Structure 1
Amino acid sequence: MLCFILLCCVQVFAQSGLKSGTKAPEFSGTDNSGKTVALDQLLQKNKAVVLFFYRGQWCPYCNKHIQELQDSLHLLTAKGAYVVGVTPETADNIDKTIEKTHASFSIIQDKGYQIMKAYDVNYVLDQNTVTQYKNWHVDLEEINGNKDHVLPVPATYIIDNTGKITFVQFDKDYRKRASVADLLHALP
């Protein structure tokens, strides 16, 4: 397990994510329920958007984070926040994530990585890591439905209703995630 953790931490060097105070890039996608989710429309109807990126249903840290968000969703929505997750995994694997976590918020498959690229969270795994993942029964080609081997840094952004990023949790250590308490504190 330690080898797995070290291997995953070594892979992410180039990304820096977006900074608090910057204008959030627009995004649009179809969520797990078939609904179009667009940042500009979400900001017209909500005080803020909690946008988070996760690697996939195979990642226990992702599942734990999603479950925590789901468990506190009523607290986040009470502050006027709309929660949306972004992942490279296929729709079938998003369904597995939902089954594991009972997530009831929007999750978008970022097929071409436009959202991940716009928020500077995407990275490509090297072939040695891809092979090691396969040895651990994590076949990214099957899970993501392509041969790109792209994953996101599991980052979280809060975007206020003016479109400005007001909170950033970006850590290349995939085990570290934004706590619900931090999100609640940062929401308007």
Structure 2
Amino acid sequence: MRKYILIILTSLFALQVSAQNGLQKGADAPTFSAKDNNGKTVDLKAILKSHKAVVLFFYRGQWCPYCNKYIQKLQDSLEYLTGKGAYVIGVTPETSENINKTVEKTSASFSIIQDKGYKIMKDYDVNYTVDADLYSKLKGYGADLEKNNGNTDHILPVPATYVIGKNGKLIFVHFDKNYTKRTSVSELLTAIQGS
């Protein structure tokens, strides 16, 4: 039964984000500067001056088991990623309280940014609005977007991952409208090594 519910939700999600395409490999990465979950200013330009690459990923929230699993994989492989010169940044629409829940669940020690006005999500073309039907279904499964995001506009990101090279270009893109599919750490490491 749970498998069928997952298939239905996946189909609804794919229909909702049909207009989103994400940025393509080779494009200039939109720059940003924001405070992370530890109050530290995360400035993409500054980070690229001191790191070989940035792994930038978008996640839906602490309520999403696929997001938590992916964040845990990134955390488990953080030494490998940073050892190759990468800086990891997560972006979510969730409130700082819910980012703290993500950290508790995954032990994430890298920067996580609350994208309050969705500027970063919009710049990377990963934002979409959840319709009333899917919102109700998610709420029925315990994912109250209004409570989690602290607003009533029901915006989520496609859970995309980008690797940004030192030159500010996207050297790797994983953009899949199916929220159950995420890139592997080995693909990220390969992209970083090739930059």
Give the match for residue 147 of structure 2.
142
* Aligned mate of 1:75, from 80, 101, 106: 80
Give the match for residue 27 of structure 1.
32
Distance 1:183 1:142 in 2: 33
* Aligned mate of 1:101, from 88, 91, 106: 106
Task: Letter of the 2:40 partner, please give it.
Answer: K
* Aligned mate of 1:4, from 9, 15, 40: 9
Q: CA deviation at 1:9?
A: 3.1
Indicate whether 1:178 and 2:179 are aligned: no
- 1:144-163 residue CA offsets vs partner (Å, 9 max, x unmatched): 00001000000000001110
Pairing 1:50-65 to 2, within 5 Å after superposition: 50-65=55-70
Give the match for residue 90 of structure 1.
95
Task: Letter of the 2:46 partner, please give it.
Answer: Q
Sequence identity (%): 63
Pairing 1:27-46 to 2, within 5 Å after superposition: 27-46=32-51
Q: Which runs of 4+ in 1 moved over 6 A?
A: none
Distance 1:72 1:109 in 2: 23
Task: Letter of the 1:125 partner, please give it.
Answer: V
Q: CA deviation at 1:21?
A: 0.6
> Mind listing any 5+ residue stretches in structure 2 that lack a counterpart?
none
Q: CA deviation at 1:171?
A: 0.3
Kept in 1: contact 2:13–2:177 (CA 8 A): no
Distance 1:173 1:139 in 2: 20
Q: Please, what TM-score do these two structures have when normalized by structure 2?
A: 0.94
Give the match for residue 125 of structure 2.
120
Count of residues in Structure 1 that have an aligned counterpart in Structure 2: 188
- 1:88-117 residue CA offsets vs partner (Å, 9 max, x unmatched): 000000000000000000000000000000
Q: CA deviation at 1:54?
A: 0.2
SS at match of 2:188: helix
> Mind listing any 5+ residue stretches in structure 1 that lack a counterpart?
none
Distance 1:103 1:135 in 2: 27
Coordinate RMSD, CA, aligned: 0.9
Q: CA deviation at 1:6?
A: 3.0
